[in-house]
Structure 1
Amino acid sequence: MATARVEADARALWGRLVAEKHVLPATYDRDLVDQLRQAMGLPSRRDIGVDLAGVSAQDLVRCLLGIAEPFAADA
């Protein structure tokens, strides 16, 4: 079994989520990216990976879970 890699910052974690196709920011998950920007106070429209510099992975996960919560409640 491979050792799990832990990402310490949001930029690295986001890059990994995109690289492994868990998030498709340019297509399917465009609305998710917009909600994430709003929740995290990221105003720009450039690559969100750039805007996540200096943000902790924990803060990114917390925001993603908050965005996903309404969908989980419907299940």
Structure 2
Amino acid sequence: MASVILEKFEKYWEDYSTLLAIAVVLDPRNKMVLVRSAFSKLYVPIEVEARVKEIYDALVEMYKFYDTSPTSSSA
């Protein structure tokens, strides 16, 4: 039974980890330090770095998207 619960937990965390981590990073009180700390409790050190890089890359991609998008000005 424990292995079934662990499998469901890992599936749930995989699906939402990027989105939740971006939300944490955008909160001025937390930044990437909290993400790295949380990931270090869940994953082995090599996987922590890979996941932190994934979050960083997603943030850069999001920034580039909004930085190049046209803005509308109202008079």
Q: What TM-score does the superposition give when structure 2 sets the normalisation length? A: 0.28
Q: Max radius of gyration: which structure?
A: 2
Higher relative contact order (CA 8 A, sep 6+): 1
Q: What TM-score does the superposition give when structure 1 sets the normalisation length? A: 0.28
More helix by share: 2
